[in-house]
């Protein structure tokens, strides 16, 4: 297969994301319009009379027909205008820009941690069935699936903060004693490393450790399980038998023949796992007072701050689309069969 | 006498299963001399593949050598370490497997897979591996080897994949090649090409070969010596000519009998006991009026001009008369399965008419035919008896299925009685009716599939390679059953197969297809004995020719030459 065919396939996949994004915009728009209550009355305040509510309605553009409102909405979005969050008084864009890196640092960190543990664990468990590694894998998977994240989070806090005192208090991203590093990526750990500030790096990592482990424990279960199952399947396949009969080294049989094939279903699972993590994130942020968009969304929901909720839903959906796109493109690059009939 | 290259003495292999230890092979002894070709023949479960896995020491986790000795060139293979064993695999002894497409890593270029073997056994460095791998591709007669190096298995045909597997196996010029059913699932002409290639290369490198197969004819045609196995035991071994022409043991005789020959009749395949019990077939009956009439049938896939446009069937016309059996023969990709799907109304036609019982059913969309009144009169028996049964349904439920769908008003008691009647008709023991597919043998599953197909008393039965997945002795019984049913129920058959010898047994007329068109048609004996086209001749020539007894050697030689010319 030539490189041209591949890049064409990747491009096609990218174009396929456009309708999805449009669909998300429509749903987001309708969702907030469909929610009960009159935003104009809400914005006008308790003391408003009919006339002033009408006035507010006009100001907000809510007197326009729906399609016009949608066009205005999309236009505003294109300029990065998501509206103003009532609870904080700042624009939603600003709030998200401030909080998104915090959530991403946690989510991606957890995903990375889960991957580095789960994939080798799954491979080892599959190559040594019924050994202690296999049992450990089974134990971790069961624990990860059956324990809710808020419970794991609280249990870890109780043991490592309250009883042992190893972990810092669950008070956000950084201890009061430190100032956040100059924002480059928005990830405190990376930014502090760029600034060369070791103490700051350690402090931010310490804050992140418990929420990271909580999320990772939850995330690694499906990945380890999928890796183990996929490895078992490829190890029993005809082509692994051929490779063994050809006298290839154990390493080559395991890595090039079994593992690379087993990776395909694992990559597919990652997309799904990511959506779990995004959901779990909201709870974990709440438990550890992490100033991410998850806790922001919960607070916004409680006070019916529609612009903020809308912004949250939109950004999460886009994030999810982007990650799935990335996974699909990776898949296309790894598996030569994608896009072929039969 | 020089010591044999491979010597197996009283080898036993056990498998640990949930029901305890099962002995897969029991104290077998065999040897292969340098340059010799040994055929191991047996039906499924005979332990022929397990023997080869034991030699290579690639038994899966549950399998264990329980006793005996394997020595190769003086080395004791059962004592050797896994590391040394790895050096032997691929360099001294290598293997070719069944189902070549699955035997190759689906996401690695085929050339790289050959290169992997070369580099592993120090036959090439990373720098020279590519050139050497291409050399091997040329050796197995793959055209455009340079370009094929970059191909992935899914881009190659089955026969091409098997050539790549052979290239992998022979890359390091091993002393012994074990070929485990190397041509099962391939077309006859591809089978011949692959087998000829293996013979040529092994002779060129002066290698010994073990050919493991269920096909006695194939083994006899390509091997010096044959060994027949049954249920983990060696039944008989002798030179090919002697074994084929003068078998000593009853099992060998039965196996030989059950293998269809050029001139055997369907009853000849049975054992004498079975034959005594079979009903006498009526003398050839004159077929009645046309039952199915296909005119100018055409099927296109994809839009014309687009990259995946493909004409599977072009301008096909034929009739099947009442009580007649028509054979449809051709290699994979010739359009025979597409044709049967269109007649079954599982696939919409592009052009043409299919007149069945006086009605043009081509006009009925495939989606609606399931509810059509003619649906019950047209039934099908599928290739794989296992995959074509619902694994969660008992045999009884499977047989009752068409009755439930097409005569929903039938009272329960009547339906049960009908299922019993059908089971008896196809010779399925009534006590097996509440079993599930995995609890039935291949032959029993085939009977369930046939009972299900005849439940609605169809006028026309389409048989799509109904015995391709069965052992020869089971195939013999199933073919005879089909022949009986045809006369008892007055059905017509459309028999689809790539095996001319099998088709000939049941069919009055044969159509040979190639590239979606009819190449030749005529009476079965006329196609077999006096083929008119080169394509039919090449199909016939590709059927393995076992060594004949001395008297007929000259005659056979003449035939082979005819076929080759």
Q: Which of B103, B121, B308 sits opposite A247 (nearest CB)?
A: B121
Backbone angles phi, psi at B460, to 5 degrees: -125, 130
Asked if residue B543 lies in contact with residue B501, where contact means CB atoms within 8 angstroms, the answer is yes
Question: Roughly what angle, to the nearest 10 degrees, separates helices B158-170 and B188-204?
Answer: 10
Domain range for B21? 6-255
Residues of A in contact with B97 (CB under 8 A): 238, 241-242, 245
Helix (H) / strand (E) containing B295: strand B290-301
Number of C-beta neighbours around residue A224 at 10 A: 28
CATH number at residue A330: 1.10.3720.10
CA angle at A31 for the pair A30 and A36, rounded to the nearest 5°: 110
- Write out pLDDT tens, residues A4-61: 777 787 888 888 888 988 898 888 888 777 766 666 777 677 777 888 888 877 777 7
Specify whether B323 is located in the same domain as B243.
Answer: no
**Could you tell me which residues are beta bridge partners of residue B65?**
B13
Residues B192 and B43: their CA atoms lie apart, in Å, by 21
Give B349: exposed, middle or buried? Use CB within 10 Å, 0-12, 13-18, 19+. buried
Alpha helices in B22-89 (DSSP H): 48-56, 82-88
B168, A246: Cβ pair inside 8 Å?
yes
My answer on whether A157 and A304 are in the same domain is: yes
- Residue A244 domain-assigned (yes or no): yes
Residue A92 inside a domain? The answer is: no
Do A249 and B61 make contact, defined as CB atoms within 8 angstroms? no
Of A245, A247, A261, the CB nearest to B120: A247
Reduced to 3 states (helix: H, G, I; strand: E, B; else coil), residue B519 is strand
* B27 touches B58 (CB < 8 A): no
Please answer yes or no on whether B107 and A261 come within 8 Å at the CB atom: yes
Query: Residues B223, B37: contact at Cβ < 8 Å?
Result: yes
A245·B107 Cβ contact <8 A: no
Q: Which residue of A has its CA nearest to B148?
A: A1
> Is residue A230 domain-shared with residue A145, that is, in the same domain?
yes
Q: Report chain A residues whose CB lies below 8 A from the CB of B309.
A: none
Cβ–Cβ of A257/B105 closer than 8 Å?
A: yes
How many domains would you assign to chain B? Answer: 2
Cβ contact, residue pair A246, B169, below 8 Å: yes
Q: Where are the beta strands (DSSP E) in B370-459?
A: 378-381
**Cα separation, B517 vs B533, whole angstroms:** 13
Contact B351, B341 (CB under 8 A): no
Torsion A95-A97-A103-A106 (CA) sign:
negative
d(CA A235, nearest CA chain B) in Å: 10
Establish if B70 belongs to a structural domain: yes
Asked if A246 lies within 8 A of B107 by C-beta distance, the reply is no
In a domain, A125, yes or no: yes
| Backbone φ, ψ for residue B21 (5° rounding) | -80, 135
Q: Where are the beta strands (DSSP E) in B336-491?
A: 351-356, 359-360, 378-381, 460-464
Do the domain assignments include residue B285?
no
Same domain, A136 and A277: yes
Answer yes or no: do A199 and A305 share one domain.
yes
H/E element, B530:
none
Same domain, A134 and A181: yes
Is the Cβ pair A337, B106 closer than 8 Å?
yes
Structural domain includes residue B225: yes
User: Nearest CA to A92 among A77, A105, A103?
Assistant: A77
Question: What string of DSSP letters covers A150-209?
Answer: HHHHHHHIIIIIIIS--SPPS-SSS-TTSPPPPPSSS-HHHHHHHHT-HHHHHHHHHHHH
Interface residue of B53, B105, B167 to substitute, partner A, most A CBs within 10 Å? B105
Partner A contacted by B108 (CB < 8 A): yes
Q: Tell me how many residue pairs between chain A and chain B have CB atoms under 8 A apart.
A: 85
On whether the CB atoms of residues B257 and B268 are closer than 8 A, the answer is: yes
- Map residue A87 onto helix, strand or coil: coil
* A180, A224: one domain: yes
Cross-chain residue pair A261–B106, CB shorter than 8 Å: yes
Q: How many CB atoms lie within 10 A of CB B424?
A: 12
DSSP conformational letter for B23: E
> Min CA distance, A2 vs chain B (Å)?
10
The predicted pLDDT at position A1 comes to 47
Taking the C-alpha atoms of residue B69 and residue B83, their distance in angstroms, rounded to an integer, is 19
Q: What pLDDT does residue B565 have?
A: 43
Which residue carries 């799935």 as its tokens?
A: A324
Residues of B in contact with A242 (CB under 8 A): 95, 97, 103-104, 165, 168
Kind and range of the H or E run holding B93:
strand B93-96
- Separation in Å, CA of A129 to nearest CA in chain B: 10
pLDDT digits (tens, 9 = 90+) for A158-213: 898 888 888 888 877 877 777 788 777 878 888 888 888 888 888 888 888 899 99
Q: How many helices (H) and strands (E) does chain A have?
A: 14, 0
- Do residues B530 and B420 share a domain? yes
Q: How far apart are CA A170 and CA A172, in angstroms?
A: 6
Cβ atoms B425, B486 nearer than 8 A? no
Residue of A nearest to B120 (CA): A248
Mean model confidence pLDDT for chain A? 84
State how far residue B280 is from chain A, nearest Cα, in angstroms: 46
Is A55 a domain residue? yes
CA distances from A95 to A183, A214, A243, B551 (A): 15, 25, 55, 97
Residue B470 CA to residue A253 CA, distance in Å, equals 33
Cα B517 → chain centroid: 24
Name beta bridge partners: B472. none
In-domain check, residue B563:
no
Contact A337 B90 (CB under 8 A): no
Residue B144 region, left (φ>0) first, then alpha (ψ -120 to 50), else beta?
Answer: left
Chain A partners of B94 at a C-beta cutoff of 8 Å? 245-247
Beta strands per DSSP E along B143-257: 176-180, 208-213, 225-230, 233-239
Token pair, residue A13, equals 């996949």
Which residues constitute the domain of residue A186? 104-334
Asked if B157 and B111 sit in the same domain, the reply is yes
B549, part of any domain: no
Both A273 and A159 in a single domain? yes
**Under 8 Å between Cβ of A43 and A84:** no
Is there a single domain that holds both residue B296 and residue B236? no
User: Has residue B557 been placed in a domain?
Assistant: no
CB–CB contact A245 B97 (8 Å) = yes
Q: Looking at the domain assignment, is residue A221 inside a domain?
A: yes
Question: Do both B314 and B223 map to the same domain?
Answer: no
Are residues B116 and B235 both part of a single domain?
yes
Per the listing, tokens 């191909």 go with B151
Q: Please report which residue ranges of B278-349 form alpha helices under DSSP H.
A: 336-343
Is B116–A342 a contact, with Cβ atoms under 8 angstroms apart? no
| Nearest Cβ partner for A246 among B60, B89, B102 | B89
In this prediction, residue B397 carries a pLDDT of 92
In which order are the strands placed within the sheet that holds B20-32?
B20-32, B6-17, B63-72, B75-76
- Nearest by CB to residue A249, choosing from B86, B105, B108, is B86
Helix (H, G, I), strand (E, B) or coil at B144: coil
pLDDT mean over A326-338: 83
Residues B240 and B294 in one domain: no
Q: Which band of pLDDT confidence, cut at 50, 70 and 90, is reported for residue A311?
A: confident
CATH at residue B480: 3.40.50.300
Q: What are phi and psi of B124, to 5 degrees?
A: -160, 160
Please say whether the beta carbons of B418 and B456 come within 8 A.
no
Residues in CB range of A36: below 8 A, 6 or more apart:
none
Domain final residue, candidates B208, B230, B255? B255
Tell me the pLDDT of chain B (565 aa) as tens digits: 577 888 988 988 888 888 788 888 888 888 898 889 999 988 887 888 888 888 888 887 788 888 888 888 888 887 888 888 888 888 889 999 888 888 999 989 999 999 999 998 888 888 888 998 998 898 888 888 888 898 898 888 888 888 899 999 988 889 999 999 888 878 888 888 889 988 998 898 889 999 998 888 888 888 989 999 988 888 888 888 888 888 888 888 888 888 887 777 777 777 777 777 777 776 666 777 888 888 888 888 877 776 677 888 888 899 998 888 899 988 887 888 888 888 988 888 888 888 888 888 888 888 888 888 888 889 999 888 888 899 999 999 999 999 998 888 889 999 999 999 999 888 888 888 988 988 888 888 989 999 999 998 899 999 988 887 788 888 888 888 888 888 888 889 999 988 888 888 888 899 999 888 899 998 888 888 888 999 999 888 888 877 665 444 444 444 445 544 4
Number of compact structural domains in chain A: 2
Looking at the fold, whether A146 and A183 belong to one and the same domain comes out as yes
If interface means Cβ-Cβ distance under 8 Å, which residues of chain A face chain B? 1, 129, 236-239, 241-250, 252, 256-257, 260-261, 264, 334-337, 340-342
Distance from C-alpha of B264 to C-alpha of B55, rounded to nearest angstrom: 37
Task: Identify any residues that bridge with B239 across adjacent strands, giving them in sequence order.
Answer: B225
B270 in a structural domain:
no
How far apart are the CA of B270 and the nearest CA of chain A, in angstroms? 35
State whether B170 and B54 are in the same domain. yes
Domain stops at, among B255, B271, B302: B255
Asked whether residue A19 falls in the same domain as residue A123, the answer is no
Instruction: For an interface test with B, give the residue of A246, A265, A335, A339 to mutate (most B CBs within 10 A).
Output: A246
Looking at the fold, whether B240 and B307 belong to one and the same domain comes out as: no
C-alpha to C-alpha distance for B33 and B35, rounded to whole angstroms:
6
Q: Is B246 on the interface with A (CB under 8 A)?
A: no
Residues B117, B249: one domain?
Answer: yes
Report pLDDT for A289.
Answer: 85
- Looking at the structure, tell me whether residues A43 and A187 fall in a common domain: no
Which of chain B's residues have a Cβ under 8 Å away from the Cβ of A251? none
- Which residues pair with residue B395 across a beta bridge? none
A309 occurs within a structural domain: yes
Same domain assignment for residues A46 and A114: no
Q: What tokens does B503 get?
A: 């088709």
Yes or no, beta carbons of B152 and A264 under 8 Å apart: no
Is A19 among the domain residues?
A: yes
Q: Are residues A232 and A134 in the same domain?
A: yes
Residues of chain A contacting residue B95, judged by C-beta atoms under 8 Å apart:
242, 245
Domain boundary among B205, B236, B255: B255
pLDDT at res. A37: 66
* Three-state DSSP class for residue A68: helix
CB contact under 8 A, B120 and A241: no
The pairing of strands B208-213 and B37-41 is parallel
A294 within some domain? yes
């Amino acid at each position: 297969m030539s490189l041209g065919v591949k890049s064409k396939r990747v491009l096609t996949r990218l174009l396929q994301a456009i309708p999805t994004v449009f669909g998300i915009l429509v749903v987001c728009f309708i969702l907030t319009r469909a929610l009960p209550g009159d935003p104009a009355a809400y914005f006008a305040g308790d003391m408003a009379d009919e006339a002033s509510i009408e006035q507010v309605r006009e100001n907000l553009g809510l007197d326009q027909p729906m399609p016009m409102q949608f066009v205005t909405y999309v236009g505003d979005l294109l300029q990065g205008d998501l509206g103003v969050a009532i609870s904080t008084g700042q624009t939603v864009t600003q709030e998200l820009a401030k909080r998104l890196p915090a959530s991403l640092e946690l989510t991606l960190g957890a995903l990375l941690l889960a991957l580095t543990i789960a994939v080798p664990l799954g491979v080892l468990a599959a190559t040594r069935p019924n050994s202690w590694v296999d049992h450990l894998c089974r134990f971790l998977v069961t624990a990860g699936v059956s324990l809710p994240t808020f419970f794991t989070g609280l249990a870890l806090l109780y043991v490592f903060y309250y009883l042992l005192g190893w972990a810092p208090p669950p008070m956000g991203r950084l201890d009061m004693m430190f100032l956040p590093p100059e924002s480059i990526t928005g990830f405190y750990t990376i930014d502090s490393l760029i600034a060369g500030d070791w103490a700051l790096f350690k402090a931010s990592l310490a804050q992140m450790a418990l929420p990271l482990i909580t999320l990772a424990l939850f995330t690694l279960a499906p990945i380890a399980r999928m890796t183990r199952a996929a490895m078992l399947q490829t190890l029993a396949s005809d082509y692994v038998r051929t490779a063994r009969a050809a006298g290839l080294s154990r390493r080559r049989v395991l890595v090039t023949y079994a593992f690379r094939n087993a990776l395909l279903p694992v990559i597919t699972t990652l997309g799904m796992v990511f959506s779990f993590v995004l959901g779990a994130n909201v709870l974990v942020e709440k438990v550890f007072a992490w100033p991410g968009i998850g806790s922001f969304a919960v607070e916004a929901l409680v006070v019916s701050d529609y612009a903020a909720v809308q912004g949250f839903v939109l950004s999460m959906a886009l994030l999810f689309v982007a990650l799935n796109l990335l996974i699909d493109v990776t898949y296309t690059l790894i598996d030569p069969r994608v896009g072929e009939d039969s | 006498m020089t010591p044999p290259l491979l010597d197996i003495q009283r080898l036993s292999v056990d498998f640990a299963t949930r029901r305890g230890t099962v002995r897969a092979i029991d104290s077998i002894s065999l040897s292969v001399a340098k340059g010799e070709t040994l055929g191991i023949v047996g039906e499924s479960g005979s332990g022929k593949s397990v023997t080869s896995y034991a030699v290579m020491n690639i038994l899966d986790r549950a399998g264990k050598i329980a006793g005996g000795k394997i020595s190769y060139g003086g080395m004791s293979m059962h004592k050797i370490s896994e590391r040394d064993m790895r050096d032997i695999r691929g360099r001294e002894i290598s293997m070719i497997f069944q189902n070549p497409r699955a035997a190759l890593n689906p996401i690695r270029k085929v050339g790289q897979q050959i290169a992997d073997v070369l580099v592993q056994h120090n036959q090439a460095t990373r720098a020279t591996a590519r050139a050497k791998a291409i050399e091997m591709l040329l050796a197995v007669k793959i055209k455009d080897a340079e370009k094929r190096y970059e191909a992935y298995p899914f881009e190659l045909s089955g026969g091409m994949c098997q050539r790549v597997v052979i290239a992998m196996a022979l890359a390091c010029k091993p002393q012994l090649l074990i070929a485990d059913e190397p041509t099962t699932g391939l077309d006859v002409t591809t089978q011949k090409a692959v087998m000829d290639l293996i013979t040529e290369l092994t002779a060129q490198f002066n290698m010994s070969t073990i050919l493991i197969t269920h096909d006695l004819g194939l083994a006899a045609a390509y091997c010096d010596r044959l060994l027949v196995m049954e249920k983990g035991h060696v039944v008989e071994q002798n030179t090919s000519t002697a074994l084929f022409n003068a078998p000593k043991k009853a099992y060998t005789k039965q196996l030989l009998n059950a293998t269809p020959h050029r001139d055997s009749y369907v009853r000849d395949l049975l054992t004498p006991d079975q034959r005594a019990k079979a009903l006498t077939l009526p003398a050839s009956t004159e077929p009645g009026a046309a039952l199915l009439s296909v005119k100018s049938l055409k099927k296109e896939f994809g839009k014309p001009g687009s990259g995946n446009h493909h004409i599977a069937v072009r301008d096909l016309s034929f009739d099947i008369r009442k009580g007649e059996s028509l054979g449809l023969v051709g290699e994979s990709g010739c359009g025979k399965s597409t044709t049967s799907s269109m007649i079954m109304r599982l696939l919409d036609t592009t052009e043409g008419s299919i007149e069945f019982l006086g009605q043009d059913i081509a006009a009925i969309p495939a989606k609606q035919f399931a509810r059509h009144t003619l649906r019950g009169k047209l039934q099908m028996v599928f290739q794989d008896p296992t995959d074509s049964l619902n694994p969660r349904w008992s045999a009884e439920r499977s047989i009752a299925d068409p009755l439930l769908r097409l005569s929903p008003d039938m009272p329960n008691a009547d339906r049960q009685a009908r299922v019993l009647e059908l089971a008896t008709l196809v010779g399925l023991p009534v006590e097996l009716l509440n079993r599930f597919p995995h609890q039935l043998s291949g032959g029993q599953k085939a009977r369930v599939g046939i009972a299900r197909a005849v439940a609605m008393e169809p006028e026309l039965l389409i048989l799509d390679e109904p015995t391709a997945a069965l052992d020869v002795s089971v195939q013999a019984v199933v073919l005879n059953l089909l022949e009986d049913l045809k006369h008892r129920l007055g059905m017509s058959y459309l028999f689809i197969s790539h095996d001319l010898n099998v088709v000939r047994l049941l069919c009055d007329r044969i159509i040979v297809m190639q590239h979606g068109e009819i190449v030749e048609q005529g009476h079965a004996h006329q196609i077999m004995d006096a083929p008119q086209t080169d394509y039919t001749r090449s199909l016939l020539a590709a059927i393995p020719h076992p060594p004949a007894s001395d008297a007929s050697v000259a005659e056979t030689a003449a035939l082979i030459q005819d076929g080759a010319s």
